[in-house]
Amino acid sequence: MNLARSQFLWSGSLPITVLVTTKNANALPDKEQEIARQVMGIISSHMARCESLEYDVTYSSSLPRLTTDFPYIAPRLSMLKLKSSIVSPLSRFKDGRVPPRFPFAAVRDLDIDVWTFVDITAVWWFKVFVAKLNTLRIHHPDPGEDEEYGFILNDVSPVLGNSGGVLFFDFVSLSGLSSLLLSTILRNVLLVDCLIINRCSLSDVSALPCHELTLQNIDYSTLSDELAKLLPTWQGCELCLRGCPGLNDSVFEMLGDPDNCPSLDCITLDDCHGFSLDALKTMAEQRYYRENSDDGRIELSIRFGPNMPAVSQALKDWVESTPDARLFRK
């Protein structure tokens, strides 16, 4: 700690970038939390010149609280990342007072766990903070078989419901959230350029407010039914599916109708299985040859992982004759 203090003093009034990492799965949560608390104590008085702050720790309980652990204004801070690998009880450094002034006026890139997200929804400056962001990532470490610390939506839904749906983002990534929380967040977002949904069920989602959509590592047998419900009215242009074994022919049958997803012009499939290549080919031809115009042309990019259907010679011939289709073998 003395070395850290001396480095901060040596840097004088220069802008600083801070990375705090304590990745050690063998460390006890209380021990890591104590170290993280001491580090935050050193950093806090230098926040006025901090441009980037990232915590990458083992336990979620070691992360600082945005509502009480930042007693100083951070006018230069533009990127803030608070990440952990293992879910642990929400006991943070201290129960302090919420800063009377909004401390993060310059932050545009926010990467936080779901506990931190819930924590900030209760403070007066939440809507001011979130409305200024360009990039928002909310993630929850996978609890595995231990459901003791799985996230349960309690008071955050009404708070988000009062945000008025005025949130615009360039990029949003949501990982490991409950279907209800995912739906609540998306209902309060008007538009996202790029939306990534990872390890989440779509069962409660009613709309996808984005231009580009990536779904990855969604291992639910109901995925195709959920997509068949959501995609017909989706106005996005690029769809990417990665590691989604529940994808089946029904999705491509629905996409084969050019009136569904009318703006869709690019599909990327990466290591998905459960569908037939004939269904994919039929869908592409139905959209590609629509009225012999460019309006229905669709670009296909298919990356074949070990679980993907076998590539037949007939498919290879079809791809070679279709300018906007590409096949890749990992």
The per-residue pLDDT for 78 is: 93
Tell me the average pLDDT across 284-311: 61
The per-residue pLDDT for 293 is: 45
Which residue matches tokens 């509502």?
Answer: 67
Q: Do residues 87 and 61 make contact, with C-beta atoms less than 8 angstroms apart?
A: no
Tell me the average pLDDT across 87-109: 67
The per-residue pLDDT for 51 is: 93
Tell me the average pLDDT across 13-18: 88
The per-residue pLDDT for 312 is: 67
Tell me the average pLDDT across 312-322: 68
pLDDT beyond 80 at 304 = no
Two tokens, residue 248: 């089946």
Tell me the average pLDDT across 249-253: 91
The rounded distance, in Å, linking the Cα atoms of 49 and 27 is 31
pLDDT beyond 70 at 101 = yes
Which is more confident, 212 or 160?
212
Tell me the average pLDDT across 143-157: 45
Tell me the average pLDDT across 240-250: 89
Most confidently modeled range among 38-47, 49-58, 114-123, 187-196: 49-58
The per-residue pLDDT for 212 is: 92
Q: Comparing C-alpha atoms, which of 307, 299, 291, 305 is closest to residue 325?
A: 299
The rounded distance, in Å, linking the Cα atoms of 115 and 87 is 10
Mean pLDDT over each residue of the chain, to the nearest integer: 77
277-288 vs 313-320: helix axis angle to the nearest 10?
Answer: 20
The per-residue pLDDT for 196 is: 92
Residue 114 has phi, psi (to 5 degrees) of -70, -30
Instruction: Measure the CA angle with vertex 309, ends 303 and 315; round to 5°.
Output: 80
The per-residue pLDDT for 97 is: 61
E strand or H helix that includes residue 128:
helix 126-131
SS3 at position 52: strand
Q: Do residues 274 and 245 make contact, with C-beta atoms less than 8 angstroms apart?
A: yes
| pLDDT tens digits, 185-199 | 887 777 788 999 998
The per-residue pLDDT for 150 is: 42
Q: What percent of the chain has pLDDT over 70?
A: 73
Two tokens, residue 296: 């229905």
| pLDDT tens digits, 18-38 | 898 876 667 778 888 888 888
224: Cα separation from own chain's centroid: 21
pLDDT beyond 60 at 155 = no
Confidence of residue 113 (pLDDT cuts 50, 70, 90): confident
Confidence of residue 98 (pLDDT cuts 50, 70, 90): low
The per-residue pLDDT for 327 is: 55
Which is more confident, 1 or 155?
1
pLDDT beyond 80 at 158 = no
Which is more confident, 152 or 281?
281
191: Cα separation from own chain's centroid: 15
The per-residue pLDDT for 91 is: 47
Which is more confident, 293 or 267?
267
The per-residue pLDDT for 288 is: 64
pTM: 0.76
The rounded distance, in Å, linking the Cα atoms of 164 and 140 is 25
The per-residue pLDDT for 80 is: 92
